Homo-oligomer: A and B are copies of this chain.
Amino acid sequence: MSFDLIIQDIYNQVKEAQDNGKVASYIPELLNVNPESFGIYFSANNQVRYGIGDCGYKFSIQSVSKVFSLSLAYSLKGEDIWNRLGVEPSGTSYNSLIQLETDHGIPRNPFINAGAIVITDILISCLPNYRHDFLEFVRKLSGVKSINYSAKIAVSEKAVGYRNIALCNFIKSFGNIENNPEEVLDFYFDICSLEMSCEELSNSFLFLANQGLNPHSNEQVLTKSQSKRINALMQTCGFYDESGEFAFKVGLPGKSGVGGGIVAVHPGEYVISVWSPKLNEKGNSFKGMQFLEKFTTESRLSIF
């Protein structure tokens, strides 16, 4: 069966199935979305493209953006970034402060909030126009110039972002933030507020299926080794304390966000993005997880 038929078939199954998830409510603005939205987009290295449902609708990508900021920092600073954060799964939830205390302010990996905040600090330190430069980086990856931050979402998150303010100041107290915490947080909330569609996400992640080469611009964004390593990190740490479950059931490197988006990469092959805003208890899209589990089972295309 071809990819498009498999996707269509599973899309229909999952669309009808009961969804026990809940739309994220901790950022008030995130509630302004149709909870029944559901879209899929598939982009292969071999140019095959296929989308279904709300695959063209822009949503708040939230933590999926952590892959972009890590990629940019990694391309700029190389292996030096690992002096300031680790590459291990945390075994705890995405916004935990516990390990930071025992680890003296060194976040376990770049995909928990603490790690992404350190990556944000690195970007501020080495980019003069960081807000602009980061946006350009994502636009180039996706080949879409209209991608932008959402001021509404950023403001909404900042107004209630006490946990992230705590995280950033806590790390600063250990000396692992160079810039002013408020500046770091403002940029962090901006990055999280990016709005993209499944189509744009799949296209912008293709460089990770393609050994670091951006197929739209033909630029080598990351070395092959760096690209491989980011995929490894998505595999072990991309879904917070459900990372093992995702590897176990889906078997692809990937990254989720509380906006309900999930991007999964089959290195050397393709990228597939799913969006559905209702989240399971671990904060990952309920339908997105279901879809991807069925997809790799039926397509027999996990990396394991």
Contact = CB atoms under 8 A, between A and B. Distances in A.
Contacts of A96: 101
B99 A101 contact: no
Contacts of A231: 251, 304
A251 B162 CA distance: 37
Interface stretch (A12-20, A82-90, A195-203, A284-292): A82-90
Q: Which of A99, A166, A231 has the most CB of B within 10 A?
A: A166
A210 interface: no
B169 A244 contact: no
A273 interface: no
Interface majority SS on A: helix, strand, loop or mixed?
Answer: helix
Interface in A160-175: 162-163, 165-170, 172-173
Kindly name the residue among A102, A228, A229, A233 whose own CB sees the greatest number of chain B CB atoms within 10 A. Answer: A228
A170 B163 contact: yes
Nearest to A233: B248
Contacts of A244: 86-89, 108-109, 232-233, 236-237
Interface string A213-232: 00000000000110111011
Interface residues of A, number: 54
A92 interface: yes
A304 B248 contact: no
A303 interface: yes
A253 interface: yes
A179 interface: no
Contact of A166 (B166, B235, B303): B166
A274 interface: no
Contact of A91 (B88, B166, B172, B267): B88
Interface of A: 86-92, 96-102, 108-109, 162-163, 165-170, 172-173, 181, 224-225, 227-229, 231-233, 235-237, 241-245, 247-249, 251, 253, 267, 297, 300, 302-304
18 contacts: A88-B242, A89-B236, A89-B243, A98-B101, A109-B244, A162-B170, A163-B169, A165-B165, A228-B251, A228-B302, A228-B304, A232-B244, A232-B247, A232-B251, A232-B304, A233-B244, A236-B248, A267-B303
